[in-house]
Structures are given as C-alpha cells and as structure tokens.
Amino acid sequence: MLNKTTSNPWSSDSLFAKSLTYLEQMEASIADDWQYGLWSSLSLELLARAALSSISPVLLADSKNWRNVTFALGNAPTAKKFNPISISTKEVLARLTELLPEFTEEMAGFCSKHTDDRNAELHSGEVVFGQNGTSRWLPRFYQSCDVLLKSMGKTLDDFVSDANNAESLIKSLGDDAAKSVKQDISAHSKVWSNKSESDKSDAVLQATTWATRQSGHRVDCPSCSTIALLHGAPVGAVATEINEEDDEVIQRQSMLPSSFECIACGLKISGYSKLSACGLGDTFSAKTIYTPAEYFELYTEDELQEARDEVEASYTYEPDFNEY
C-alpha cells in the first residue's frame, strides 16, 4: 500500500495558498516599482497551476516518469533520489485553454508573455517590470485571475484586497465608450494646430506654471504635447521609509488614474477606461515627506502650526505625485 504524504505541494489548495502569499507581496509593493510586476508574475503562474490542479493534480505531472503521477496523487516517493517534475508553465496554459472554455487564447497569451517577462527579469540584465507601465498588463492580469479563480469556485474577493478596483480594471478592457476618447483628442488637436504660435506660446507658459508637481502627476497631453496633470485615487498599501540621513519619514502610495486635464488645449478626460485607451492609464506614486515630529505626533497641532509660521519663508514639505 502506498504511503500518503502529509501535504501535497501540487494540490490546488497548496498552490492557491502560495499564490495568495505572492499576491499579498505584490499589493505591499508600490505599483510602479519593479517588485510589483515581479510578484504578480509569480502569483499568476501559481494560480494557473492551482486551477489546473483543481481539475486533477495529475494534470501537472510530467508524463516522462510515471512516479510523477503517483506524487501528484499525494503519495510518497517509492524510489530513492526521486525528484518530482511538473509540466512547464506554457503546457499548463495550453491545457487550461482546452479544458476551460472561459480561459481564452488571448488570456493564455498574456499569461505566457507575463511569465516570459518574469524570466527576463530574473535571468538577464534586462529591466522589464520597472519600465512597463501597469496599464499595459494590470487589467489583463486581473481578468486572467478572475477566470482562473471562478474555475475553482472562488472570486476576486477571495484573492485581492480591493476587488472593486480589480473589477473596474477588467471592465476597462471591454468599455466601448473608451474608444470615443480618441475622437476627443483628435478634435482638440485640430483646434490646437489652428492656433497662432503666439497663442500657443502663452498657453504653454500658463500650463507649465499651473501643472505643479504638488497638484498632480505631470504628463504630456496626448492632444497638444503640453505639460498637463493626471489625478488619481489611492490604491494598495502605503510604503513607509525612514531616511535617517536627512531626518525624514517618507511615505509612498500607488495612485490609480481617474481624471486628466490640460489647460493649454482644454482637453479633459474622466474615467480609467478612457485614460487607459489613450495611454494615460499607468499607475503612479504619491510621495509625502514628514519630519519625525509630524509623523510621530510628538507635538500638538497648535505647536506644529506655530513652528510652521516661524519658518514660513523656508522650504515646506508637500505631496509629490511625480516619482519615477
């Protein structure tokens, strides 16, 4: 009689638990940092394996050695120096595409590309995730996760900390209204091109003065290429860093774009789906710097205000939405 192992690392529950652990690491990172994308790729691969194992863990076994099958069933190895081998990630995705009709070729293609990016990040000198904006992959990441989770009888609420945010990103992929934003951009661009050089120069100067780093995330307008502002809503965990050298406490949080405004040409865009459709959907960071006294509340608000009044002419810390 075969002996059962105390825990099966190829079981759907084990793989899902580890995928969830990596997802939590992803959410603990700032969205425009390379760690965010890296953890997402690790979590996605394990979630795909968990989905395939939920059909049967045997589907993960490399068929070149029959002992892999018995191991997948939860049995202890019956041969010395046996190292169980599972199938490649690409094979996992191929089997899921055939076994789960909802898991489309497009989703499998995205998962494969995301895995390839992970391999390039880990096994070469190439910097992949630090250069790829989140709008290029995050909606499809959540879309793939949603389908894989449903195949296991789970939902996004069982996986991510903000399911509403994830669902809004998924919705942006099929939002037909987003296509209209390109018409708005084209119309404003035409009006801009008909302005005189003098009027353009004045508008650019006004926009440059208006679009400060403390007011929003500065980006180039897709209509007139002038500096404009992107606003967003906070998502994910707050990262706190103590800079002992400069005696500062720095906090950073990911911001999901929600609206855009350019006062040079007058273009305004609202809604993530439209922003994503025109290349303005990348998550950005909001950074705030505190003195230790402010952060740890060592003084009362009246005392802090009195101190601020005394150094009114000196530099004061303000939010910065333009970290790179």
> Do residue 30 and residue 156 come from a single domain?
yes
Residue 220 main-chain phi, psi, to 5 deg: -85, 135
Distances (CA, A) of 67 to 10, 12, 13, 39: 14, 19, 21, 31
Same domain, 105 and 200: no
Rounded Cα distance, 186 and 315, in Å: 41
pLDDT at site 235: 79
Residues 231 and 291 reside in one and the same domain: yes
Amino acid at 42: L
| Pairing between β-strand 227-243 and β-strand 268-270 as defined by DSSP bridges | unpaired
60 close to 92: Cβ distance less than 8 angstroms: yes
Examine the domain organization and report whether 58 and 186 are in the same domain.
no
Q: Check whether residue 34 and residue 149 sit in a common domain.
A: yes
- Domain annotation covers residue 76: yes
DSSP label of 29: S
Other Cβ atoms closer than 10 A to 316: 9
Q: Determine, yes or no, domain membership for 140.
A: yes
Count CB neighbours of 60 within 10 A: 27
Judge whether 127 lies within some domain. yes
Output the furthest CA–CA distance in the chain (Å, rounded). 89
Q: In this structure, are 169 and 181 located in the same domain?
A: no
Residue 321 domain-assigned (yes or no): no
In angstroms, the CA 44 to CA 114 distance is 9
Distance, in Å, from the CA atom of 278 to the CA atom of 276, rounded to the nearest integer, reads 5
233 forms beta bridges with 256
Provide the residue range defining the domain that includes 291. 176-310
Specify the pLDDT at position 301: 67
- Cβ proximity of 224 and 192 under 8 Å: yes
Residues 183 and 160 in one domain: no
What pLDDT does 313 receive? 47
For residues 187 and 163, membership in a common domain is answered with no
Q: What is the pLDDT of residue 312?
A: 60
Residue 125 resides in a domain: yes
Tell me: do 180 and 157 sit in the same domain.
no
Do the domain assignments include residue 280?
A: yes
With a CB cutoff of 8 Å and minimum separation 6, the contacts of 61 are 10, 68, 69, 71, 72, 84, 86, 87
Phi, psi (deg, nearest 5) at residue 280:
-110, 20
> CA-CA distance, 157 to 173, in Å (whole number)?
20
pTM value is 0.72
User: Is 303 a member of any domain?
Assistant: yes
- CA–CA distance, 6 with 16 (Å, rounded to integer): 17
Of 140, 173, 206, which closes a domain?
173
- How far is it, in rounded angstroms, from Cα 41 to Cα 141? 9
Kindly give the parts of the chain with pLDDT less than 70: 1-6, 176-177, 299-301, 303-304, 311-318, 323-324
- CA-to-CA dists, residue 223 to 207, 228, 278, angstroms: 14, 10, 10
Position 3 in a domain? no
Phi, psi of 308 (to 5 degrees): -65, -40
Q: How many domains does the chain have?
A: 2
Last residue of a domain, one of 149, 173, 197: 173
From residue 293, give the alpha-carbon distance in Å to each of 124, 165, 212, 311.
44, 34, 27, 15
Are 260 and 305 in the same domain?
A: yes
Q: Is the same domain home to 100 and 155?
A: yes
The answer on 65 and 112 residing in a single domain is yes
Q: Record the tokens describing residue 193, joined without a space.
A: 């091109």
What is the structure's pLDDT at 317? 58
Mark which of 138, 173, 208 sits at the end of a domain: 173
